[in-house]
């Protein structure tokens, strides 16, 4: 899909540049050149590469996960997110090895946490875990984040294996946290 808005063009240009470079070596001007936008356009929408990453991964989450409303659709939407991660594996590995990798990791995983919180909120009285939803979401997303990070950095790791493991973890999390509907 071709990006139409300036922020989308900038995000896709960043992903394109990540295919061959660490984010530590990418300048705002390079991104603007690839996106074919003026440098001032970048700063109209983003403070820095980290806010660009925040924007981009929010967009990915909206496209892959935000339609989920229950346990089953959450599992399916998580698979869509993993499809994106797999399709951009090389680029995301560059983010994980950057000087400030933890900041890029936040950008990747915060939308997942927000998604999990929205699923718990929609569950209402069906949420049965004794811990507050925000703690449970952070706990599980932290584990998921670590699994994805290791998978991304493991040569020859298979997507099918990752999906299977995440499905198992997500099913148990939903079972532990929500009444069967």
Q: How far apart (Å, rounded) are the C-alpha atoms in residues 136 and 120?
A: 10
Q: How many domains does the chain divide into?
A: 2
Q: How far apart (Å, rounded) are the C-alpha atoms in residues 14 and 25?
A: 11
On whether residue 131 sits in a domain, the answer given is yes
Parent domain of 127? 57-177
On whether residue 13 sits in a domain, the answer given is yes
Q: How far apart are the first and last CA of the chain?
A: 36
Phi, psi (deg, nearest 5) at residue 29: -60, -40
pTM of the model: 0.80
Q: Specify whether 35 is located in the same domain as 99.
A: no
Q: Specify whether 35 is located in the same domain as 72.
A: no
pLDDT tens by residue, 68-119: 666 667 777 777 888 888 899 888 888 888 888 888 888 888 888 888 888 8
On whether residue 52 sits in a domain, the answer given is no
Q: Specify whether 98 is located in the same domain as 152.
A: yes
Q: Specify whether 63 is located in the same domain as 40.
A: no
Closest C-alpha among 173, 84, 50 to residue 123: 173
Contact 9, 35 (CB under 8 A): yes
Q: Specify whether 148 is located in the same domain as 122.
A: yes
pLDDT tens by residue, 85-95: 889 988 888 88
């Amino acid at each position: 899909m071709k990006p139409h808005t300036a922020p989308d063009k900038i995000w896709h240009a960043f992903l394109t540049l990540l295919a061959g470079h660490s984010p530590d070596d990418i300048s705002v001007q390079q991104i603007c050149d690839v996106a074919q936008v003026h440098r001032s356009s970048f700063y109209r929408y983003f403070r820095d590469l980290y806010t660009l990453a925040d924007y981009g991964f929010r967009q990915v989450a909206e496209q892959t996960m935000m339609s989920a409303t229950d346990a089953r659709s959450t599992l399916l939407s998580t698979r869509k997110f993993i499809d994106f991660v797999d399709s951009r594996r090389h680029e995301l590995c560059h983010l994980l090895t950057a000087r400030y990798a933890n900041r890029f990791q936040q950008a990747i995983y915060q939308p997942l946490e927000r998604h999990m919180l929205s699923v718990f909120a929609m569950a209402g009285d069906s949420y049965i875990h004794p811990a507050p939803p925000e703690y449970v979401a952070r706990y599980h997303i932290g584990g998921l984040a670590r699994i994805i990070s290791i998978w991304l950095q493991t040569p020859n790791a298979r997507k099918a294996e990752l999906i299977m493991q995440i499905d198992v973890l997500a099913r148990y999390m939903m079972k532990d946290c929500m009444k069967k509907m």
